[in-house]
């Protein structure tokens, strides 16, 4: 964990909301200090993240606020302040939160000073908030996705109150980014370039909980990348629900209106940033301009995550994905011809309403023809409030499971075939840390996002090194430094 907190100096903060946040951090710090004296120990805080990279980035802001207020970070939920930053894309994410909350209630009985907060996408759903109010009355603070920049104020209020505080905004056009951040890694960081989504895929709750698309100023994005570089960051990942749509919400005559491709090119010009990733593009508007920019910029990672979701045209139409199987495969072919060394990964949903085993065969056909380097496969999750939740032809559970298992085998076989092509090559990897299972090994990540484990000294963590890929183990390699 990086001990430095970016933007922690109030003199570096120019934005009014950011300055306001730091004022409330100081007020919260007084209360935390008083509690420390009363209890004779340091106060501890734990932030648990569910969901996507954007949630992970939000959690870094929450953790920075808690750290500046005087809390020590801990991975244990037996802490004095616990935050669940929630996801609601799939039902199992909701159930995990409720399960963890049940355990947290028992811990709180033994620690009267404990505060529990829940934020994120799940809290934008009225039914979830009502359930927490009714069944988990020990929760102290609930807030959503649109006012995370108010956390310092909400923290301060929570520390001086014994009642449940709920602060949910339906929507906002405000973007506040100049906030303290405590990064998980000192050498890499996510950078939000936009928020929200306008696509309204019929299965997806994101447009309803994250709101409409709102792009950040390109100047502010570049300024953040420069600041990160100055703080030792070597790799950035540009984040958005659909990065291809970046800038389209600006007026035609707005000088800030540039394409995502041009923004990506500008980020590559930042000194000190050696690798640039992005997540996630939408296949329907993946431009030739973007391919050209990737081709001529070796800094841009050779990895494109291109969500397919389904390979049958009728299912794609019902999903409102706005492309066909044939158009998707044509795009993959174009990408592979332009970028022969690129890894293409994808997301696939199994069991969307109306999907038959024959329809899934079309998806399997795409997996084989596209030769995905990996695919994240999910069973369809019915989300209240989405159009698909009202479709009458929900697929029986036994059919979904059989189809899921069939697809997973093809995905694994295809991914292994792709990985084997790298055997014997020497690749540049960014060393990310010690291996979780063998302390002798370090773990690094290649440009194409493949992991490789190799023996080396931990002083290399955060550095780029060359590694020969010796043994393929499906989704990762064993290698040695050269």
Checking if the pLDDT of 380 tops 90, the result is: yes
Q: Which of 181, 43, 47, 63 is nearest to 116 (CA)?
A: 47
Structural domain ending residue among the three candidates 149, 167, 185: 167
Give the pLDDT confidence of 386-399 residue by residue, as tens digits: 999 999 999 999 99
User: pTM score > 0.85 for this model?
Assistant: yes
- 188 within 8 A of 235, measured Cβ to Cβ: yes
pLDDT at 1 over 50: no
**Are 435 and 403 within one domain?**
no
| Peptide bond between residue 280 and the one before it cis (omega within 30 degrees of 0) | yes
Asked, for residue 62, whether it belongs to a domain, the answer is: yes
- Residue 3 belongs to a domain: no
Tell me, what's the pLDDT at 463?
A: 97
pLDDT of residue 2: 42
CA atoms within 13 A on the CB side of 135: 13
Q: Do 31 and 162 lie in a common domain?
A: yes
Are 57 and 120 in a shared domain? yes
DSSP string, 15-82: SHHHHHHHHHHHHHHHHHHHHHHHHTS--EEEEEE-S-HHHHHHHHHHHHHHHHTTPEE-S-SSSSEE
Q: Which residues contact residue 390 at a Cβ distance below 8 angstroms, ignoring those fewer than 6 apart?
A: none
Cα atoms found within 13 Å of the Cα of residue 221, Cβ hemisphere only: 27
Q: What pLDDT score was predicted for residue 175?
A: 67
Interatomic CA distance for residues 467 and 415, integer angstroms: 21
Is residue 231 within 8 A of residue 189, CB to CB? The reply is no
**442 in the same domain as 412:** no
16 pLDDT exceeds 80? Answer: no
Predicted pLDDT of residue 172: 67
Domain that holds residue 61: 10-167
Across the range 423-436, mean pLDDT stands at: 95
pLDDT attached to residue 67:
96
What value does the mean pLDDT take over residues 330-343? 97
The residue among 196 and 301 whose pLDDT is bigger is 301
Shared-domain flag, residues 162 and 82: yes
47 — pLDDT class (breaks 50, 70, 90):
very high
- Residues 371, 346 share a domain: yes
Tell me: do 400 and 461 sit in the same domain: no
Q: What is the pLDDT of residues 232-249, one digit of tens each?
A: 999 999 999 999 999 999
pLDDT at residue 282 is higher than 50: yes
180 in a domain, yes or no? no
pLDDT at 9 over 60: no
Contact 377, 408 (CB under 8 A): yes
115-145, pLDDT tens digit by residue?
A: 999 999 999 988 899 999 999 999 999 998 8
Residues 18 and 146 occupy one common structural domain: yes
145-181 pLDDT, tens digit per residue, is: 888 889 999 999 999 999 999 998 877 666 666 777 8
The pLDDT > 90 percentage for the chain reads 80
Are 411 and 442 found together in one domain?
Answer: no
Q: Please indicate, yes or no, if residue 258 is contained in any of the structural domains.
A: no
Q: pLDDT of 66-119, one tens digit each?
A: 999 999 999 999 999 999 999 888 888 889 899 999 999 989 999 989 999 999
**Whole-number Å distance between alpha carbons of 231 and 321:** 40
Q: What is the CATH number of the domain that holds 451?
A: 2.40.50.140
387 and 452 inside one domain: no
CATH code for position 141: 3.40.50.12160
163 and 16: one domain? yes
What single-letter DSSP state applies at residue 279? E
In a domain, 252, yes or no: no
For residue 265, the model assigns a pLDDT of 97
Nearest to 118 by CA among 69, 44, 100, 161: 100
> Within a domain: residue 122?
yes
Q: For 122, which DSSP code?
A: G
Of 151, 167, 183, the last residue of a domain is 167
Look at residues 394, 421, 448 and tell me which one is the last residue of a structural domain: 421
Whether residue 439 lies inside any domain: the answer is yes
Half-sphere exposure (Cβ direction) of 203: Cα atoms closer than 13 Å: 24
Domain match, 327 and 475 both: no
Q: What confidence score (pLDDT) does residue 384 get?
A: 86
For residue 159, the model assigns a pLDDT of 96
Q: Helices (H) and strands (E) in the chain — how many of each?
A: 13, 19
> Residue 317 belongs to a domain with what CATH number?
3.30.750.200
Q: Which residues contact 385 (CB under 8 A, 6 or more apart)?
A: 125, 205, 208
* Residue 459, in any domain of the structure: yes
Is the confidence at residue 21, as pLDDT, over 90?
no
In this prediction, residue 18 has a pLDDT band, given cuts at 50, 70 and 90, of: confident
The total of structural domains in the chain comes to 3
Residue 183: per-residue pLDDT = 87
The packing angle between helices 16-39 and 151-159, to 10°, is 30
Tell me the per-residue pLDDT of 297-316, one tens digit each, with 9 for 90 and over. Answer: 999 999 999 999 999 999 99
């Amino acid at each position: 964990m990086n001990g430095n907190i970016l933007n922690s100096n109030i003199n570096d903060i120019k934005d009014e909301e950011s300055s306001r946040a730091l004022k409330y951090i100081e007020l919260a710090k007084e209360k935390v200090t008083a509690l420390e004296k009363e209890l004779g120990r340091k106060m501890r805080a734990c932030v648990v993240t569910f969901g996507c990279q954007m949630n992970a980035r939000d959690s870094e802001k929450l953790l920075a606020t808690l750290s500046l207020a005087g809390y020590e970070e801990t991975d244990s939920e037996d802490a004095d302040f616990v935050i669940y930053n929630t996801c609601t894309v799939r039902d199992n994410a909701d159930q995990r939160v409720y399960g963890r909350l049940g355990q947290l209630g028992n811990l709180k009985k033994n620690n009267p000073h404990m505060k529990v907060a829940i934020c994120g996408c799940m809290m934008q759903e009225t039914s979830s908030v009502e359930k927490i109010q009714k069944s988990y009355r020990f929760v102290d603070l609930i807030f959503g996705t649109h006012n995370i920049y108010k956390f310092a104020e909400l923290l301060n209020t929570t520390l001086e109150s014994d009642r449940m505080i709920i602060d949910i905004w339906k929507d906002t056009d405000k973007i506040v980014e100049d906030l303290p951040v405590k990064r998980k890694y000192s050498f890499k960081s996510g950078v939000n370039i936009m928020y929200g989504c306008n696509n309204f895929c019929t299965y997806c709750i994101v447009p309803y909980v994250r709101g409409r698309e709102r792009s950040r100023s390109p100047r502010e994005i570049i300024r953040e990348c420069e600041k990160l570089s100055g703080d030792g960051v070597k790799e950035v990942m540009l984040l958005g629900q659909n990065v291809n749509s970046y800038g389209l919400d600006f007026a035609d005559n707005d000088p800030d209106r540039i394409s995502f491709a041009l923004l990506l090119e500008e980020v590559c010009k930042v000194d000190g940033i050696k690798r640039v990733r992005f997540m996630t593009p939408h296949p329907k508007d993946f431009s030739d301009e973007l391919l050209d920019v990737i081709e001529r910029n070796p800094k841009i990672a050779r990895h494109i995550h291109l969500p397919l979701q389904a390979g049958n045209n009728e299912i794609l139409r019902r999903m409102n994905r706005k492309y066909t199987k044939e158009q998707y495969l044509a795009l993959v072919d174009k990408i592979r011809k332009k970028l022969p060394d690129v890894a293409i990964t994808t997301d696939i949903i199994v069991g969307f309403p109306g999907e038959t085993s024959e329809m899934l065969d079309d998806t399997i056909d795409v997996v084989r023809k596209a030769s995905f380097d990996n695919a994240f496969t999910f069973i369809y999750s019915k989300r209240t409030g989405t159009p698909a939740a009202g479709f009458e032809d929900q697929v029986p559970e036994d059919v979904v499971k059989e189809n899921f298992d069939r697809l997973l085998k093809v995905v694994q076989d295809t991914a292994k075939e792709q990985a084997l092509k790298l055997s014997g090559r020497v690749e540049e990897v960014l060393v990310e840390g010690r291996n979780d299972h063998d302390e002798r090994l370090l773990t690094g990540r290649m440009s194409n996002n493949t992991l490789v484990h190799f023996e080396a000294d931990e002083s290399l963590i955060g550095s780029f090194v060359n590694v020969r890929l010796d043994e393929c183990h499906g989704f990762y390699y064993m290698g040695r430094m050269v």
